């Protein structure tokens, strides 16, 4: 059995078994252990175990998070004996690997990325964004110097939204911080992105509910900000409304921007499509969002998946308008036309209806944008991530 990192190994130990006192005291020293995912403190502790000075941790972090070196042997800033000692103990860089990729007609790419246990997760590269997630609160537009990576936080999802294909998987497992940040680095490496030259936005909107994997998700954010060098203001996390997660998020000194999947104008309608509403209703979600101290010019995004005939009527738009005006928050609305998937009893709103819905929100003084669907033909669009090998989906329905 392989483990993504030591913490996972510990957490999987049967109760009553003593935790190793030293990183080198692992019960199975021959096992492969990934360094990718260790923060600077953990790397420093590891170097101490090897009797190496703390600056070696910085060199290692530089090699794996900035140079994206995946072979410990090639980390030439570390002395060879140290590298050898680490390899003997089963350490390797362990950057998650892209094992399959699908390219859409619109330039979007979807990847299956494997962690160290061989389980795959999906990540999406959108070369020019999708019109809704620019890091500075403006519309992303179609600027070729910017790109957006859509990152997964879990394999599958427990939340059971009725319109989402990921929900059909159920929850398979949480991803580790290394696996979450590793998706980003694997994709950046694939596209030879020069951080700082190209503007990269991250949206944690792939598979899974980030706030049900809170600690690993936030650890990944910190790695991406501090070690990989992507500003948190270019990151957006979307949640289905996990109130305890939003309240913890409100306390974070370093955090992405927040998006809430609203998807319905009231609790009754939302419960039908997002049963999680029974646990945390809209009033509590909005109350929790109000606790998040926003940065200057920062807005909270409310995402609204338009389901034909179900939540896209004039009166729905007006009710959403009233609800959000009452919330009295700096916010914007991102409208997402539902992306179809097999076996789901919904339909896509027609373009005229989408336009009218947007217009009515604007009439209510709410900034509203329509996200362009990206990569539907390769199952890469919102809510379509299901670890599929399919390349084509029948549109219609």
| Residue ranges binding ligand SAH (CB under 6 A) | 163-164, 205, 209, 238-240, 261, 263, 303, 305, 336, 338-339, 341, 382-383
167 binds ligand SF4 (CB under 6 A): yes
Q: Single out the residue of 140, 155, 161, 235 in contact with ligand SF4 (rule: CB under 6 A).
A: 161
Give, as ranges, the residues between 191 and 230 that touch ligand SF4 (CB under 6 A): 208-209
Residue 23: CB minimum distance to ligand SAH, A:
33
Which one from 8, 69, 109, 122 is the annotated catalytic residue? 122
164 binds ligand SF4 (CB under 6 A): yes
Q: Select from 14-22, 129-137, 152-160, 248-256 the region that touches ligand SF4 (CB under 6 A).
A: 152-160
Q: Single out the residue of 34, 240, 349, 353 in contact with ligand SF4 (rule: CB under 6 A).
A: 240
Instruction: Name the burial class of residue 329, with classes exposed (0-12), middle (13-18) and buried (19+) by CB atoms within 10 angstroms of its CB.
Output: middle
282 binds, among ligand SAH, ligand SF4, none (CB under 5 to 8 A by kind): none
Residue 163: CB minimum distance to ligand SAH, A:
5
Q: Which is nearer to ligand SF4, 57 or 286 (CB)?
A: 286
The answer to whether 28 is a known catalytic residue is: no
44 binds ligand SF4 (CB under 6 A): no
Interacting residue ranges for ligand SF4, rule: CB under 6 A: 157, 159-161, 164, 166-167, 208-209, 240, 261, 383
Please give the positions annotated as active site: 122, 382
């Amino acid at each position: 059995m392989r483990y993504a990192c030591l913490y996972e190994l510990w957490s999987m130990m049967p109760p009553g078994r003593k935790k190793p006192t030293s990183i080198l005291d692992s019960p199975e020293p021959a096992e492969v252990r990934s360094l990718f995912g260790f923060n600077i403190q953990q790397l420093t502790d590891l170097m101490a175990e090897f009797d190496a000075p703390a600056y070696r941790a910085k060199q290692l972090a530089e090699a794996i998070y900035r140079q994206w070196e995946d072979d410990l042997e090639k980390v030439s800033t570390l002395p060879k004996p140290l590298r050898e000692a680490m390899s003997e103990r089963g350490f390797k860089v362990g950057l998650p690997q892209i094992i399959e990729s699908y390219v859409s007609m619109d330039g979007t790419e979807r990847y299956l990325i494997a962690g160290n246990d061989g389980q795959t997760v999906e990540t999406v590269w959108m070369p020019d964004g999708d019109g809704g997630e620019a890091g500075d609160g403006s519309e992303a537009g179609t600027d070729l110097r910017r790109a957006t990576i859509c990152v997964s936080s879990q394999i599958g999802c427990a939340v059971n939204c009725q319109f989402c294909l990921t929900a059909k998987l159920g929850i398979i497992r949480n991803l580790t911080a290394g696996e979450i940040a590793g998706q980003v680095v694997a994709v950046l490496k694939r596209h030879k992105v020069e951080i700082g030259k190209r503007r990269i936005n991250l949206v944690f909107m792939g598979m899974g509910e980030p706030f049900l994997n809170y600690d690993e998700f936030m650890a990944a954010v910190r790695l991406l900000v501090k070690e990989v060098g992507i500003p948190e203001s270019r990151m957006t996390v979307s949640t289905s409304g996990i109130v305890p997660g939003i309240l913890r998020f409100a306390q974070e000194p370093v955090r992405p921007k927040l998006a809430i999947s609203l998807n319905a104008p009231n609790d009754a309608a939302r419960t039908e499509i997002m049963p999680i509403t029974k646990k945390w209703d809209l009033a509590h979600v909005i109350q929790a969002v109000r606790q998040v101290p926003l940065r200057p010019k920062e807005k909270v995004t409310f995402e609204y998946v338009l389901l034909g005939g179900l939540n896209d009527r004039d009166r729905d738009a007006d009710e959403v308008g009233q609800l959000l005006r009452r919330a009295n928050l700096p916010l914007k609305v991102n409208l997402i036309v539902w992306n179809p998937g097999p076996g789901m009893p919904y339909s896509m709103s027609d373009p005229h209806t989408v336009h009218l819905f947007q217009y009515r929100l604007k009439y209510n003084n709410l900034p509203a944008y329509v996200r362009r669907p990206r990569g539907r033909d390769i199952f890469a669009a919102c809510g379509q991530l299901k670890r599929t090998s399919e390349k084509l989906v029948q549109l219609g329905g």
